[in-house]
């Protein structure tokens, strides 16, 4: 029986992935960079199948190499962030804390007023042109988030999955 079960479960999982296009795995949020949307210690499900990642999606990804100079974490460090802009787009961060994507103000209804006022970082780049495999990501709690404003874009191969926002 156990041998049959060991053979059936992986096949059934692959059939579900193929049919529904999903492969959900649990993830435990660590830190306050996504507050109030996500809290420290909150459990979420991530879809590990690479589908279309849209602006506004919340992703789980590996911290890019350039990000390790801003943290005491050791590789591989996994982070949770919101996608602000995607492949081929331009991002400009104004001193007025407004993010422009391709010249248009980004709509960010998930930000608190305090977070909106903590978007601009003096002495850091404010203009980004994203490669065809890159995403600009930021935390919803901008004052407590090490994100693309510090380390640049996240490559698509560094993305683990997209958070199922119904969890």
Q: Is 32 a catalytic residue?
A: no
Bridge partners (DSSP) listed for residue 61: 79, 159
Instruction: Choose, from 25, 30, 32, 33, the residue flagged as catalytic.
Output: 33
CA 80 → CA 14, 49, 94, 150, 160, distances in Å? 26, 16, 24, 15, 10
Cα torsion angle, 68, 71, 77, 79, sign: negative
Q: Is 117 a catalytic residue?
A: no
Instruction: Choose, from 13, 25, 81, 156, the residue flagged as catalytic.
Output: 81
HSE-CB at 2 with a 13 A cutoff on CA atoms is: 0
Alpha-carbon distance 126 to 77, whole Å?
25
Element (H, E) at 145: none
Active site positions, annotated: 33, 81
């Amino acid at each position: 029986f156990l041998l049959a079960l060991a053979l059936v479960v992986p096949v059934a999982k692959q059939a579900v992935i193929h049919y529904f296009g999903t492969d959900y795995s649990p993830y435990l949020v660590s830190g306050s960079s996504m507050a109030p949307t996500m809290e420290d210690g909150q459990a979420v499900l991530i879809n590990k199948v690479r589908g279309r990642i849209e602006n506004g999606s919340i992703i789980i990804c590996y911290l890019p190499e350039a990000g390790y100079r801003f943290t005491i974490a050791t590789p591989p460090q996994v982070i949770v962030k919101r996608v602000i802009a995607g492949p081929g787009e331009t991002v400009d961060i104004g001193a007025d804390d407004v993010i422009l994507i391709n010249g248009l103000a980004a709509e960010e209804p998930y930000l608190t007023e305090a977070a909106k006022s903590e978007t601009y970082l003096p002495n850091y780049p404010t203009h980004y042109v994203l490669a065809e495999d890159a995403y600009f990501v930021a935390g919803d709690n901008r004052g407590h988030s090490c994100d693309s404003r510090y380390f640049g874009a996240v490559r698509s191969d560094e993305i683990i999955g997209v958070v199922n926002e119904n969890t």
